[in-house]
């Protein structure tokens, strides 16, 4: 199928403003709990009335600080409750939120602040302010910098005391659907980031369509724990949908203690990127092997996958049901307990999840609904749902949207969540939006039922010296599924065969060393020469190669002594590979593959 569209079942008011929900909740249900804040190892309720009061106070402070309609206010912070307060306050004051990752390098922040013409900047802590001081001192339009942990909320609230409610709502009511809600700069796996301008209508449509698609999760009094960076459109969009649907949201940025936080918060659904689901699976597998129960885990995993696959093929038979029942008691229930015990749904986006993980999680009783979208589409434009799920795809287009496959295999998109253009970049806008269709840059297909599949990134296609086109994502996803492997970069552009750079997972190495009776302080440089480890990596490569044709298979690889990280600039904040950076940093290792 070349094109598939879904009729729109919601309307977008001309005066749509994402801030309106704040005041509607406060008026209609002031005791509703939209947020919980972490405190002393527990969680404290924030009512709708309290949230509206805080948003209003900060918005008044922004107005008193000179923010005019359409002015840009930037937030550079990890995920936390104050992010939401400031975001909604900016909209209430008629401004536009510029989202900056708290992991951004000074040069990245400099470009964003200058290109966006940001007037005020709110950072999380003193370290951010210090690291960016040279940048913020030189940014031509930046007037002030506030720190969340140094009383930014209180300072703005105090500053706005003389602004009346009438003045506040007069400003708020000037915002409409076509007003800019946010500027989000693309993570820039190649080239300089472009500012994606999304309007209130874009976000309104995203919230409405996602709530329709995942209505079983977006119900009042359900809970979700938000741990992805709010600077990313995926996290923000789900947050807006949750707030509009009266779901209670908690915020955390401490990924290292997620299991402990799940136990206390007990989310009903979570959203994450595939790498986190991979880590959950790999950690469980590694723990089972470390405890001498690796065989049981492998059988349980195979049963979960088979059970899920059977759901799409007439349903599981009696024998499979019995095996599934036994492993549910022995294994699956413990995995669900690690998610807090009440989590029945997950949403995955940002990269490909893969059919294996999709079937595994559905098989253990926590279906992961994989979706697809970009910053330019306000997050999801297609998603699997409880009533329409095909594991391995990214679902059907959401209500009011269409997808089409171009002659060269590129996925084209249309609908109200699609942005209108890049900030001050008409050339890039003209390149990406043609004849009303947004050119995603991704390669894909649409099956006869309308399910979209992503096969690779157009710009990432490797063309070997023999002229073979290779989409690296298939192999990279397959290799990352192995517990020992952290990251994989497939290479071979203009080369005689396909190769790969592989990094090891520091979290699983201690258990592997113990099982192989090696010293805990064995260096990675020694480890990558170990025959047993090489044999395991060889096996992982062989398994991955089964997924592709012979010319696409990895013929040689190199194991690196260091991992790819955000800190080194080799991963984006959503853990995607920055290929151009890795090629530059590890060019010698790549050349060694072909020596």
pLDDT digits (tens, 9 = 90+) for 151-179: 999 999 999 999 999 999 999 999 999 99
Q: Choose one of 366, 385, 406: the last residue of a domain.
A: 366
Check residue 469 and give its pLDDT: 77
pLDDT digits (tens, 9 = 90+) for 241-253: 999 999 999 999 9
Using DSSP's 3-state secondary structure scheme, residue 533 falls into: helix
Q: Choose one of 336, 366, 396: the last residue of a domain.
A: 366
182 within some domain: no
> Same domain for 168 and 27?
yes
Q: What are the residues facing 463 on neighbouring strands?
A: 469
Q: How far apart are CA 160 and CA 149, in angstroms?
A: 19
For 309-326, b where at least 16 C-beta lie within 10 A, e where not — what string? bbeeeeebeeeeeebbee
User: What is the pTM (predicted TM-score) of this model?
Assistant: 0.86
Asked whether 462 and 341 are in contact (CB, 8 A), the reply is no
To which H or E segment does residue 547 belong?
none
Check residue 468 and give its pLDDT: 77
Asked whether 246 and 32 are in contact (CB, 8 A), the reply is yes
Neighbours of 145 (CB within 10 A): 19
Q: What are the residues facing 385 on neighbouring strands?
A: 388
pLDDT band of 395, cuts 50, 70, 90: very high
Q: How far apart are CA 559 and CA 592, in angstroms?
A: 11
Check residue 353 and give its pLDDT: 85
As a whole-number percent, the residues of the chain with pLDDT over 90 amount to 80
Q: Does residue 16 surpass a pLDDT of 90?
A: yes
212 within some domain: no
Q: How far apart are CA 186 and CA 279, in angstroms?
A: 25
Asked whether 239 and 97 are in contact (CB, 8 A), the reply is no
199 within some domain: no
Asked whether 97 and 87 are in contact (CB, 8 A), the reply is yes
Q: Does residue 190 surpass a pLDDT of 60?
A: no
Which are the contacts of 534, defined by CB distance < 8 A and separation ≥ 6?
528, 559
Strands (E), 285-332: none
> Same domain for 294 and 234?
no
Using DSSP's 3-state secondary structure scheme, residue 315 falls into: coil
Q: Choose one of 366, 393, 411: the last residue of a domain.
A: 366
Q: Does residue 453 surpass a pLDDT of 80?
A: yes
Asked whether 485 and 505 are in contact (CB, 8 A), the reply is yes
**CATH for 65:** 3.40.50.12780
Q: How far apart are CA 72 and CA 68, in angstroms?
A: 9
Q: How far apart are CA 325 and CA 565, in angstroms?
A: 40
Check residue 191 and give its pLDDT: 61
Asked whether 584 and 547 are in contact (CB, 8 A), the reply is no
Using DSSP's 3-state secondary structure scheme, residue 481 falls into: coil
Q: Does residue 447 surpass a pLDDT of 80?
A: yes
86 within some domain: yes
Using DSSP's 3-state secondary structure scheme, residue 555 falls into: strand
Helix axes 294-311, 274-290, angle to 10 degrees: 140
Q: Does residue 189 surpass a pLDDT of 60?
A: no
- Please report, for residues 36, 252, 266, 290, 360, the alpha-carbon distance to residue 260 in angstroms, rounded to integers and kept in the order given: 16, 12, 10, 21, 23
First to last CA, the chain: 44
159 within some domain: yes
> Same domain for 360 and 465?
no
To which H or E segment does residue 318 belong?
helix 318-327
**CATH for 536:** 3.30.300.30
Handedness of CA 178, 179, 183, 184 (dihedral sign): negative
Pairing of strands 554-559, 498-504: parallel
Using DSSP's 3-state secondary structure scheme, residue 402 falls into: strand
What is the chain's alpha carbon radius of gyration, rounded to the nearest angstrom? Answer: 24
Q: How far apart are CA 149 and CA 129, in angstroms?
A: 11
Check residue 283 and give its pLDDT: 84
Helix, strand, coil abundance in the chain, percent, nearest 5: 40, 20, 35
Q: Does residue 259 surpass a pLDDT of 90?
A: no
Q: What would the mean pLDDT of 435-447 be, rounded to a whole number? A: 95
187 within some domain: no
> Same domain for 471 and 566?
yes
Residue 67 domain boundaries? 19-175+230-238
Q: How far apart are CA 481 and CA 508, in angstroms?
A: 13
pLDDT digits (tens, 9 = 90+) for 462-472: 888 877 778 88
Question: How many residues in the chain?
Answer: 595
467 within some domain: yes
| Domain tally, the chain | 3
> Same domain for 234 and 320?
no
Neighbours of 159 (CB within 10 A): 17
Check residue 187 and give its pLDDT: 63
> Same domain for 90 and 234?
yes
Q: Does residue 291 surpass a pLDDT of 80?
A: yes
pLDDT band of 378, cuts 50, 70, 90: very high
pLDDT digits (tens, 9 = 90+) for 22-78: 999 999 999 999 999 999 889 999 999 999 999 999 999 999 999 999 999 999 999
What average pLDDT does the structure give for the chain? 94
Asked whether 183 and 98 are in contact (CB, 8 A), the reply is yes
Q: Which residue has the tokens 């049981």?
A: 296
Check residue 573 and give its pLDDT: 77
> Same domain for 148 and 35?
yes
Q: What would the mean pLDDT of 85-106 be, rounded to a whole number? A: 95
553 within some domain: yes
> Same domain for 301 and 155?
no
pLDDT band of 455, cuts 50, 70, 90: confident
Asked whether 411 and 438 are in contact (CB, 8 A), the reply is no
> Same domain for 38 and 145?
yes
**Which tokens hold the place of 549?**
């044709």
Task: Give the residue ranges of DSSP H helices in 6-47.
Answer: 20-28
> Same domain for 234 and 291?
no
pLDDT digits (tens, 9 = 90+) for 520-579: 999 999 999 999 999 999 999 999 999 888 888 999 999 999 999 888 889 887 778 888
Q: What would the mean pLDDT of 312-336 be, rounded to a whole number? A: 95
Burial of 587 (0-12, 13-18, 19+ CB in 10 A): exposed
Q: What would the mean pLDDT of 584-593 be, rounded to a whole number? A: 93
Asked whether 116 and 91 are in contact (CB, 8 A), the reply is no
To which H or E segment does residue 122 belong?
strand 120-123
> Same domain for 140 and 72?
yes
Q: What would the mean pLDDT of 95-107 be, rounded to a whole number? A: 93
**Which tokens hold the place of 174?**
């000037």
Q: What would the mean pLDDT of 114-131 be, rounded to a whole number? A: 97
Which are the contacts of 90, defined by CB distance < 8 A and separation ≥ 6?
59, 62, 67, 73, 96, 97
> Same domain for 279 and 339?
yes
């Amino acid at each position: 199928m070349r094109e598939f569209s879904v009729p729109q079942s919601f309307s977008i008011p001309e005066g749509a403003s994402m801030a309106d929900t704040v005041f509607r909740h406060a008026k209609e249900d002031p005791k509703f709990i939209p947020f919980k804040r972490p405190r002393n190892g527990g969680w404290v309720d924030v009512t709708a009335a309290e949230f509206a009061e805080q948003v209003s106070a900060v918005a008044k402070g922004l107005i008193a600080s000179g923010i005019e309609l359409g002015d840009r206010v930037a937030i550079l912070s990890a995920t936390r409750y104050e992010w939401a307060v400031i975001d909604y306050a900016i909209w209430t004051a008629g401004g536009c939120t510029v989202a900056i990752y708290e992991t951004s390098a000074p040069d990245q922040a400099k470009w964003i602040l200058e290109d966006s013409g940001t007037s005020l900047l709110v950072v999380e802590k003193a370290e951010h302010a210090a690291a960016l001081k040279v940048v913020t001192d030189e940014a031509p339009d930046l007037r002030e910098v506030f720190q969340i942990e140094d009383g930014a909320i209180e300072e703005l609230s105090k500053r706005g005391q003389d602004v009346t409610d009438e003045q506040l709502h007069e400003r708020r009511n000037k915002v409409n659907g076509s007003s800019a809600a946010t500027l989000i700069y693309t993570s820039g796996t190649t080239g300089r980031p472009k500012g994606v301008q999304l309007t209130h209508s874009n976000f309104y449509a995203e919230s409405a369509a996602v709530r329709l698609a995942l209505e079983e999760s977006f119900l009042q009094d359900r809970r979700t724990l938000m741990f992805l960076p709010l600077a990313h459109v995926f996290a923000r969009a789900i947050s807006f949908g949750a707030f509009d649907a009266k779901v209670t949201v908690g915020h955390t940025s401490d990924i290292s203690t997620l299991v402990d936080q799940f136990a206390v918060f007990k989310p009903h659904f979570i959203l994450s990127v595939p790498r986190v689901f991979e880590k959950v699976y790999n950690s469980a597998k590694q723990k089972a092997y470390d405890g001498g129960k690796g065989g049981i885990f492998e059988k349980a995993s195979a049963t979960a996958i088979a059970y899920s696959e059977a759901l799409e093929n007439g349903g599981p038979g009696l024998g499979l049901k019995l095996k599934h029942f036994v492993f549910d008691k022995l294994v699956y229930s413990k995995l669900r307990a690690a998610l807090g015990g009440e989590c029945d749904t997950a949403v995955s986006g940002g990269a490909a999840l893969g059919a294996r993980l999709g079937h595994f999680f559905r098989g253990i009783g926590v279906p992961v609904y994989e979706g697809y979208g970009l910053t330019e589409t306000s997050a999801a434009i297609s998603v699997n749902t409880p009533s329409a799920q095909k594991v391995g795809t990214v679902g059907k287009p959401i209500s009011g949207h269409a997808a089409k496959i171009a002659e060269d295999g590129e996925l084209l998109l249309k609908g109200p969540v699609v942005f209108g253009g890049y900030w001050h970049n008409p050339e890039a806008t003209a390149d990406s939006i043609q004849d009303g269709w947004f050119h995603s840059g991704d390669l894909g297909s649409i099956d006869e039922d309308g399910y979209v599949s992503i096969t690779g990134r157009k710009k990432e296609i490797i063309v070997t010296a023999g002229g073979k086109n290779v989409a690296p994502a298939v192999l990279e996803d397959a290799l990352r599924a192995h517990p020992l492997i952290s990251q994989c970069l497939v290479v071979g552009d203009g080369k005689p065969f396909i190769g790969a750079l592989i990094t090891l997972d520091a979290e699983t190495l201690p258990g592997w060393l113990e099982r192989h009776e090696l010293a805990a302080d064995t260096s990675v440089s020694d480890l990558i020469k170990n025959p047993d480890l090489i044999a395991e990596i060889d096996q992982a490569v062989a398994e991955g190669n089964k997924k592709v044709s012979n010319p696409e298979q990895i013929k040689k690889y190199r194991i690196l002594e260091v991992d790819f990280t955000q800190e080194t600039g080799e991963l984006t904040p959503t853990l995607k590979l920055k290929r151009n950076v890795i090629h530059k940093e590890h060019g010698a290792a790549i050349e060694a593959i072909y020596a």
